[in-house]
Amino acid sequence: MNVKSDSYSDTLLGSLYALLAFSAWGFLPLYWKALLGTSPLLVVCHRILWSFVIFTVLLTHKNRWPEIKKEIRSSKEMLIVLFSAILISGNWLIYIWAVQAGYVLETSLGYYINPLVNVALGFIFLNERLNRNQWVAVALAACGVLNLALTYGQVPWIALSLALSFSTYGLLRKIGHMHAMSALFMETVILLIPCLFYTFYISDTSGLSLDNLPLLLLLMGTGLATALPLTWFGNAAKRLNLSTLGVFQYIAPTFQFLLAVWVFKEPFTQTHLITFIFIWVAVVVYSAGGIKQHIILRTLKSKHAMLPAEAKHCKK
């Protein structure tokens, strides 16, 4: 009884953390729009600088420094962190620029297809087998992107860049063995010097003073906007199975889509509708396959757990 109660509490708390994390990511365009007029590169630099400060505090609080010292001795791990730092900073730069330039709808498309790109990369680089639902989902997503490309005569590069950069980042993190928070901290360390150089020697920082306190506070807040959702996501991942977490991940692009159409009034044509229908059907097929697989695994585990009890009963 207590075990079931604890399991239910964990699931409920995990769901709350997942809702917080993906909702925060979904509403981030509002934050980046508030920084309209500030160079996207400067925003990314501040995001890295203040994330470094916050992760330093968190790692000190959790006493992770001995663990980090061991992990950075591995040249392989540090090489992975170097490439992942380049990818995540590039992803942030494209995303913030796209939001400020009025392409929130395309960023939404990118994060809708991101899990499907994960599946494709797993198949190519990790020899992961794809089930029927995953093949169908990937094919539908490809049709949606192709429809947009053929109709407008150009590839939706923002969506594809965001999906590919973040999926490749996830692939590198999967290959590496460094703890997620430690890896994020080391990524900010690697990017710290170029960010400091750009912020104070190249960019125009004349507006970043106490005379323009709202802008300064917004830029400082980019650290919290980065660290808090990641912390919530980490807490959710500990308490929820991957299939449940996989369903939650579509909250973020859904909020981005709604913001693009209803708040920012971005053009939403018939071509966009057809493309998104392909993507939404792909999402449903992919999620249904994941849930079905999870149910099968749970059933098998339950049957396996019952075997010792049945064997004991037979002996009696």
No. of helices (H) and no. of strands (E), the chain: 12, 0
pLDDT at 1: 43
Query: Cα separation of 29 and 176, whole Å?
Result: 30
Q: Which of 162, 172, 165, 199 is nearest to 48 (CA)?
A: 199
- Identity (one letter) of the amino acid at 86? I
Q: Which residues of the chain have pLDDT under 50?
A: 1, 3
C-alpha to C-alpha distance for 137 and 246, rounded to whole angstroms: 14
Distant-in-sequence, close-in-space partners of 180: CB < 8 Å, separation ≥ 6: 173, 230, 234
Q: CB of 215 within 8 A of CB of 208?
A: yes
pTM more than 0.75:
yes
Judge residue 66's burial from the number of C-beta atoms within 10 Å of its C-beta, 0-12 exposed, 13-18 middle, 19 or more buried.
Answer: exposed
pLDDT attached to residue 277? 94
- Domain-by-domain residue ranges, the chain? 2-288
Q: Is 141 helix (H, G, I), strand (E, B) or coil?
A: helix
Q: Where are the beta strands (DSSP E) in the chain?
A: none
| pLDDT score at 168 | 92
Cα(140)–Cα(285) distance, integer angstroms: 9
Rounded CA-CA distance 286/247 in Å is: 10
Phi, psi of 299, deg, nearest 5: -65, -45
pLDDT of residue 3: 47
Cα dihedral: 243, 15, 8, 239 (round 10): 60
Counting beta carbons within 10 angstroms of the beta carbon of residue 308, is it exposed (0 to 12), middle (13 to 18) or buried (19 or more)? Answer: exposed
Neighbours of 254 (CB within 10 A): 17
At 81, which amino acid appears? V
